[in-house]
Amino acid sequence: MTVSRREFLVISGVAGAGLALSSLGIDMGPVKAYAQELKKIDKMKSAKQSTTICPYCAVGCGLICSTDTKAKKIINIEGDPDHPINEGALCAKGASLFQTTSNNPDRLKKVLYRAPGSDKWQEKSWEWALGEIAKRVKATRDGNFIEKNAKGETVNRVEAIAHIGSAALDNEELWPLQAMMRALGLVYIEHQARI
């Protein structure tokens, strides 16, 4: 690790002040966090930076994602100052995006299923989950399909299932999704950005 004169002075200052203050019983949390931040900045110098878009809402803020290519790990995500929409700023949701990466030990990586009435989660495969969703959608649609309304007019609709889309979907994804939901007969189709 190469340390510039300025970084050396900052680190020495932080460490020296830290020792003196901790011996007086003063909380060293913020000083440690600052030292960690310096380490992170040093790591980021060799990281690969890629630009991307926040997936959470339709504002579409720009992000810079830094990847440690040796460890194959994302080490930082922050607002892109060159992006015309957010100019580097992020809301609280966007600012917490790093928590969605595989570095987070609390992130769910497997399908968990809780059977009706049960208080336990069971691990399941994606094949099982997708098959189960398809089976239940079909059963609910078949059991609730309305061919005609009270006036005897043909409506061919299903009111027992609703669909909610994500603002992160683009036009090309939304078109087949909308066609599929309409083909099933759904009328309650909503979008996260309107809620």
Say how far apart CA 50 and CA 47 lie, in whole Å. Answer: 10
CB of 49 to ligand SF4, least distance (A): 18
* 91 vs 160, beta carbon nearer ligand SF4: 91
**Which element (helix H / strand E) includes 162?**
strand 154-165
Residue, CB closest to ligand SF4 = 94
CB of 125 to ligand SF4, least distance (A): 31
CA distances from 190 to 126, 142, 180 (A): 25, 22, 14
Is-contact 160 139, C-beta < 8 A?
Answer: no
Of the two residues 94 and 185, which places its CB atom closer to ligand SF4 in the complex? 94
Smallest distance from the beta carbon of 190 to ligand SF4, in angstroms? 18
In the complex, which residues of this chain contact ligand SF4 (CB under 6 A)?
A: 54, 56-57, 59-61, 86, 90-91, 93-94
- Least Cβ distance, residue 144 to ligand SF4 (angstroms): 35
Nearer to ligand SF4, 57 or 184 (CB): 57
Minimum distance, C-beta of residue 61 to ligand SF4, in the bound complex (Å) = 3
What are phi and psi for residue 65, nearest 5 degrees? -110, 120
Q: Which is nearer to ligand SF4, 47 or 90 (CB)?
A: 90
Q: Quickly list DSSP for 102-130.
A: TT-TTS--SEEE--TT----EEE-HHHHH
Please, which residue, 35 or 57, has the CB nearer to ligand SF4?
Answer: 57
The sign one gets for the Cα dihedral 92, 78, 85, 193 is negative
